[in-house]
Structure 1
Amino acid sequence: MKKTLIAVASSIAVLSLPVVAEDMPGMKMDDMPMEGMQMEQEAQQTPTAKASGTIKAINMQKGTITIAHGAVPTLKWPPMVMGFKATSEQLGQVKAGDRVEFEFKAEGMVATIISIKVMK
């Protein structure tokens, strides 16, 4: 009985060892696109949100735009005035006082404009 228990316990221990890609034939960690996988996971964790609002200020040097926007249900945010990171191209498309619709991603305390369009 003891020999059977030892044999079963040994089998379980061996089967529970992690399999490392480097131990698998034809697989090398260097060949695996780990960065792409990580970025894909991050993209899935950070939802894209949509909002509309009025541009209050643009800071070309800092690459930011301040928008007074309405509620953002996707993120459960109330209406507020806040700054967003934006590209110089995006900043050049708008001016203070414009009513805009925009998409953005929020990561922690940093929100980044993905697209922005002046409403007519």
Structure 2
Amino acid sequence: MGYSHQRWRQAIAAAMAISSFYAVNAVAQEGSASGEVRRVDAAAGKITIKHGEISTLQLPAMTLVYHAEPALLADIKPGDKVKFTARREGGQYVVIAISK
């Protein structure tokens, strides 16, 4: 009886660990970085930024297209050096703040 009870407890512990992992990942993640703007399409609400690693979003250094509110992009143009904060929302990366 001791062996099966121990296996049952291990199975519950494993299930709890997996559910905790998914609960943490379901929360919106944010991170800040510096980079250079490569392309801006304010009408479509998109900006392409070449940036360094953003560890909180698990992104290596790369060039990535982000979504953004068009109003945030009004004064931003290709070649600008920017600091920005992005959030992962539903599998997309969204710039929530940006400054030159």
- TM-score relative to the length of structure 1: 0.58
Between the aligned partners of 1:55 and 1:115, the Cα distance in structure 2 is: 14
Aligned AA (2:73): L
Aligned AA (1:56): R
Whichever of the two has the greater Rg, that structure is: 1
Instruction: Identify which of structures 1 and 2 has the higher relative contact order when contacts are C-alpha pairs closer than 8 Å and 6+ apart.
Output: 2
Structure 2 residue aligned with 1:46 = 28
Q: How does 1:95-110 map to 2 (within 5 A)?
A: 95-110=77-92
How many pairs are equivalent?
Answer: 76
Q: Equivalent residue of 2:71, what SS?
A: helix
Structure 2's unaligned 5+ residue stretches are: 1-22
Structure 2 residue aligned with 1:84 = 66
Query: What is the Cα-based RMSD across aligned positions, in Å?
Result: 1.7
- TM-score relative to the length of structure 2: 0.69
Between the aligned partners of 2:31 and 2:63, the Cα distance in structure 1 is: 16
Structure 2 residue aligned with 1:24 = none
User: 1 or 2, which has the higher strand percentage?
Assistant: 2
Between the aligned partners of 1:109 and 1:79, the Cα distance in structure 2 is: 18
What stretches of structure 1 move > 2 A for 4+ residues in a row? none
User: 1 or 2, which has the higher helix percentage?
Assistant: 2
Seq. identity, %: 32
Structure 1 residue aligned with 2:93 = 111
Structure 2 residue aligned with 1:63 = 45
Cα offset, 1:108, TM superposition: 4.5
Whether 1:73 aligns to 2:55 is: yes
Q: Equivalent residue of 1:96, what SS?
A: coil
Structure 2 residue aligned with 1:8 = none
Structure 1's unaligned 5+ residue stretches are: 1-40
